[in-house]
């Protein structure tokens, strides 16, 4: 793959066809729904989608037997995303090898939430990343909570965020006191993994091209996508894109990719904006003091030294 797959160079080149269409009822401004559309456009028609339980299951195919998917789609259990992808990939390989189905390139994208991939389905995801099935993409849409059950903390909820399980109270004021788990680094810890990346809605072409690279990488791949969630983060629905941009520009969300063992930053904020520009726009952090926000900014500053160093070396160094 020396020449690489053909990427989308400008917005004008984005395919006009949608494979994630009307018929879903996510919240207005739902970041995860926005990326579903971009990701499926990038993947094209020869794609199978798997939806572990979560907002992208319940809100996408809810109630009136409507389906927003113009490609095959199958619900899978909350903790079964990893196994689901492997089952389908194994079936396609076996059927093709044994001459029971015509050989063809088929993409499999498992579209799992942070609860689904970082918590309950973590073991299955990790199992999947040790196999060698091509065109098998595990895409984590990270709204930083168990959103569908009414916004509960997961292991990717950031420090200081309030959720219904980690409210800010009179005695326990901070809210969530655990630090966000870095799922892309964990994915990269699987030897011989072909492609790992982080992304968000901003910039959209970055996300779409990462999907194309992942699917063409020759093995299972993982993309961790930050998807702002107006309901869980407490902001106005029209600000979703803006928040994704601020997450990147404040350095709180680091855009990187790890391809065939080589690490690369895709965006270096220069100068990096103070994290308050991102955090103060969200109700879930409203209880934090200026000092606490500063503390978060210092942590981010410290981490960035390692991200830049990793970029220079082309190798991953743990940023803490």
Ligand X SMILES: Cc1ncc(C[n+]2csc(CCOP(=O)(O)OP(=O)(O)O)c2C)c(N)n1
Whichever of 69 and 258 has its CB closer to other proteins, that residue is: 69
Given the rule CB under 6 A, which of 162-170, 176-184, 224-232, 274-282 is the region that contacts ligand SF4? Answer: 224-232
SS3 call for 121: coil
- Rounded least distance, CB 32 to ligand SF4, Å: 5
Cβ-contact 111, 139 below 8 angstroms: yes
Residue 38 structure tokens:
């971009």
Rg (CA), the chain: 19
Q: Which of 198, 186, 188, 191 is nearest to 265 (CA)?
A: 198
- Residue 116 contact partner, candidates other proteins, ligand SF4, ligand X, none, CB within 5 to 8 A by sort of partner: ligand X
Cα–Cα separations (whole angstroms), residue 281 to 9, 191, 268, 296: 32, 39, 22, 15
Choices 9-17, 184-192, 195-203, 230-238; region in contact with ligand SF4 by CB under 6 A: 230-238
Q: Which is nearer to ligand SF4, 68 or 232 (CB)?
A: 232
Nearest residue (CB) to other proteins, 59 versus 246: 59
| 175, 232, 251, 319: residue in contact with ligand SF4 (rule CB under 6 A) | 232
The total of other beta-carbon atoms located within 10 Å of residue 75's CB is 14
110 close to 211: Cβ distance less than 8 angstroms: no
By CB under 6 A, name the binding residues for ligand X: 53-56, 78-79, 113-116, 143, 145-149, 154
Contact letters for ligand SF4, residues 50-89 (x by CB under 6 A): -----x---x------------------------------
DSSP 31-91: HHHHHHHHHHHHH-SSEEEEEESSHHHHTTS-SSS---BSS-EEEE-TT-HHHHHHHHHHH
Segment contacting ligand SF4 (CB under 6 A): 89-97, 226-234, 248-256, 271-279?
226-234
- Interacting residue ranges for other proteins, rule: CB under 8 A: 45-48, 50, 57-58, 61-65, 67, 69-77, 79-80, 82-88, 90-95, 97-98, 100-101, 106, 123-124, 126-127, 131
């Amino acid at each position: 793959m020396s020449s690489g797959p053909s990427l989308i160079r400008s917005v004008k080149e984005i395919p006009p066809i949608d494979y994630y269409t009307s018929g879903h009822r996510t919240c207005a401004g739902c970041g995860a729904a926005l990326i579903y559309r971009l990701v499926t456009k990038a993947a094209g028609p020869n794609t199978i989608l798997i939806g572990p339980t979560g907002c992208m299951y319940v809100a996408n195919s809810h109630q009136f037997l409507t389906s927003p998917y113009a490609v095959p789609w199958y619900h899978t259990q909350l903790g079964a995303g990893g196994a689901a992808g492997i089952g389908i990939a194994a079936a396609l390989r076996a059927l093709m090898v044994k001459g029971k189905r015509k050989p063809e390139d088929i993409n499999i994208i498992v579209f799992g939430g942070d609860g689904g991939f970082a918590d309950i389905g973590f073991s299955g995801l990790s199992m999947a990343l040790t196999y060698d099935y091509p065109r098998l993409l595990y895409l984590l849409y990270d709204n930083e909570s168990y959103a569908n059950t009414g916004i509960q903390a997961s292991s990717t909820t950031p420090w200081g965020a309030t959720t219904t399980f980690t409210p800010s109270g009179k005695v326990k004021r901070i809210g969530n006191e655990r630090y966000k788990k870095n799922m892309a680094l964990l994915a990269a810890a699987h030897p011989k993994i072909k492609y790992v990346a982080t992304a968000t809605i901003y910039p959209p072409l970055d996300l779409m091209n990462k999907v194309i690279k992942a699917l063409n990488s020759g093995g299972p791949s993982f993309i961790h996508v930050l998807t702002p969630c107006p309901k869980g983060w407490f902001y106005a629905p029209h600000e979703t894109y803006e928040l994704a941009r601020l997450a990147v520009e404040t350095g709180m969300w680091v855009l990187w990719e790890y391809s065939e063992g080589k690490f690369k930053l895709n965006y270096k904020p220069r100068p990096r904006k103070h994290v308050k520009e991102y955090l103060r726009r969200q109700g879930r952090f409203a209880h934090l003091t200026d000092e606490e926000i500063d503390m978060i900014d210092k942590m981010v500053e410290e981490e960035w030294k390692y991200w830049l160093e990793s970029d220079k070396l082309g190798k991953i160094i743990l940023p803490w």
